[in-house]
Amino acid sequence: MTEHTDNRGQLILAGAVVFSLVLIGIVVVFSTTLFTANMASSSANAGVSDAGALESDVEQTIHEYADRVNDDEEYEEYDVDGFADDIEDEYPELLAERYAESGPTIVDIVDVNVETGSEGEEIESVTVDLVYETRSTTVDREIELEDLNE
């Protein structure tokens, strides 16, 4: 008697293993390419969206601070004379600390112009020059807040 062995099953199994390894390799290369392209485009967009959030934060904070300065009865410790100095000297440090947590950023308030009423006791409008800088973008904005004494 002759023994007849059929190696067809082993050949099919080996072919399936090779095919699956090739398929996994293609998937890994494709997903790596997509991930790299996505990360490259998201960093540029993130800087712009962070700048928009920063501008909104600065507007809201300055508006609230001006409201406190203008409300003499409840907040006597705030005065019109120290308003511009506080915004220009102390507030940029707080902004830098807050936005440094999200990545390498530079935030600075370059200039603050305050217009007061005729008696000089209430703040009417504020103009702030703001610089926000990341690795990929630099945003220079001028924020104007008007009618703060109403």
Each residue's pLDDT, cut to its tens digit, for the chain (150 residues) gives 556 667 888 889 999 999 999 999 999 999 988 888 776 665 555 555 667 777 888 888 888 888 888 877 766 667 777 888 888 888 888 887 877 776 667 778 888 888 887 777 788 888 988 888 877 778 788 888 888 776
Angle at the Cα of 131 from the Cα atoms of 125 and 132, rounded to 5 degrees: 125
pTM equals 0.61
pLDDT of residue 28: 94
Angle at the Cα of 54 from the Cα atoms of 127 and 89, rounded to 5 degrees: 55
The dihedrals phi and psi of 16, each to the nearest 5 degrees, come to -65, -40
Q: How many CB atoms lie within 10 A of CB 105?
A: 19
Side by side, the strands of the sheet bearing 123-133 are: 106-116, 123-133, 138-145
- The distance from CA 10 to its chain's CA centroid, rounded to whole angstroms, is 57
Cα separation, 55 vs 131, in Å, equals: 10
pLDDT of residue 16: 96
pLDDT of residue 25: 96
